[in-house]
Amino acid sequence: MDWDAQYELLKAGKAIPQAGPSYTTRNESNIDDDDMRPVLPGRDPGDEPERRRTNLILDEEETVATPLERLTRHWMNERHAPDILPAQEDLLMNLLDHLRRQSEAVQLLREDPSTSEEEHMRIMLVQTEIERVKFIVRSYVRTRLFKIEKYARFITTTPEVQTRLTAAELDHASRHAKITDQHFYVSVLQSLPEKQSHLDDTPLFVPPMITEPDKTRPVFVHALKQCPRIRLPDGATLEMEKGHISLMPYSVVEQLVARGEVELI
């Protein structure tokens, strides 16, 4: 440091240039040289944590499906799965209640003489959307009804499957199985020997009389998230990443479908 030069500046009344913070001073403030990052134009460095939180919230909102999207996914799973999946009673009731309120609002607007032509066009679009949702609901219910009637006898003898049905579905399965048993007995079984007059017989090398879901049937699977490693029937393993599509037996991905980690397409 040039002390003579500083003395001459001080005598002339000029300010002495101040040095920047020392290495010790920067250490004491816990700011490393690497931490002194350039600030982009128009961006406050204090907004960075808030921006990250906003991105996380947006990502979460993108992953949250609407009730209609959820029902559509359950509808597609039900159509492609060989087994009966758990009933979505609450979701279905909420959607039906929403459709009822929408239909009532549309009817009131149609009957209002002050409704403009532009509003009538909007009403037509709303009615089209309502009919689209009704189609999905009807198809979902019909698919479950078809499976219930096809596997009615199997349902009545399998408590685990009964837990997937609503009270109305279980009652329908019981009545359908009873009527079918009576029809088979009157038509055929009463004319057979006693040992062969029962539907629950399981003789060797003969297909069972009670129809059961074929879980070995292949299905197309689309991974909605990173899935745990699964073992295929041939002993090989497969780890499906998000977006992966594969063809495999339903029994392999049954639990993944139940947990909502994959969907059937």
Per-residue pLDDT tens for 161-184?
Answer: 999 999 999 999 999 999 988 888
The full DSSP string for 41-97 is: TT--GGGHHHHHHHHHHHHHHHHPPPHHHHHHHHHHHHHH-SSPPPP-HHHHHHHHH
pLDDT at 38: 43
Decide: 263 and 224 in contact? Cβ < 8 Å: yes
**Least reliable range by pLDDT among 2-6, 74-78, 166-170, 221-225:** 2-6
Evaluate whether 77 touches 85 at the Cβ level (below 8 Å): yes
Q: Residue 263 pairs with which residues in a beta bridge?
A: 222
Place 249 in a pLDDT band, splitting at 50, 70 and 90: very high
Of the CA atoms within 13 Å of residue 47, those in its CB half-sphere come to 9
197 vs 168: CA distance, rounded Å = 30
In the numeric block, the tokens 């990052």 are attached to 37
Q: What is the average pLDDT value for the chain, to the nearest integer?
A: 80
> pLDDT tens for residues 104-162?
988 888 888 888 888 888 889 999 999 999 999 999 999 999 999 999 999 999 999 99
pLDDT digits (tens, 9 = 90+) for 81-107: 999 999 999 999 999 999 999 999 888
pLDDT in tens, 16-63: 455 444 444 444 444 444 444 444 444 455 555 555 554 444 444 445
β-sheet bridge partners, residue 231: 237
Does 205 have pLDDT greater than 80?
Answer: no
The reported pLDDT for the residue numbered 235 is 86
pLDDT of residue 110: 85
Could you give all domains of the chain from N- to C-terminal order, each with its CATH number? 65-196 (1.20.58.1030), 214-264 (3.40.5.60)
DSSP the chain: --HHHHHHHHHTTPPPPPP---HHHHHHTT--GGG-PPPPTT--GGGHHHHHHHHHHHHHHHHPPPHHHHHHHHHHHHHH-SSPPPP-HHHHHHHHHHHHHHHHHHHHHHH-TT--HHHHHHHHHHHHHHHHHHHHHHHHHHHHHHHHHHTHHHHHT-HHHHTTS-HHHHHHHHHHHHHHHHHHHHHTGGGS-GGG--TT---TTS--SS----TTSEEEEEESS----EE-TTS-EE-PPTT-EEEEEHHHHHHHHHHTSEEE-
User: Can you tell me the distance from the alpha carbon of 14 to that of 5, in angstroms, rounded to the nearest whole number?
Assistant: 11
Residue 204: what pLDDT? 67
The pLDDT-based confidence of 10 (bands split at 50, 70, 90) is low
pLDDT of residue 137: 95
Confidence band for 12, pLDDT divided at 50, 70 and 90: low
Rounded to two decimals, the pTM is: 0.71
pLDDT in the model for residue 192: 78
Residue 30 φ/ψ region, left for φ over 0, alpha for ψ in the -120 to 50 degree band, beta for the rest:
left
> 61 vs 75, which has greater pLDDT?
75
Q: What's residue 91's pLDDT?
A: 94
Confidence (pLDDT) at 132: 93
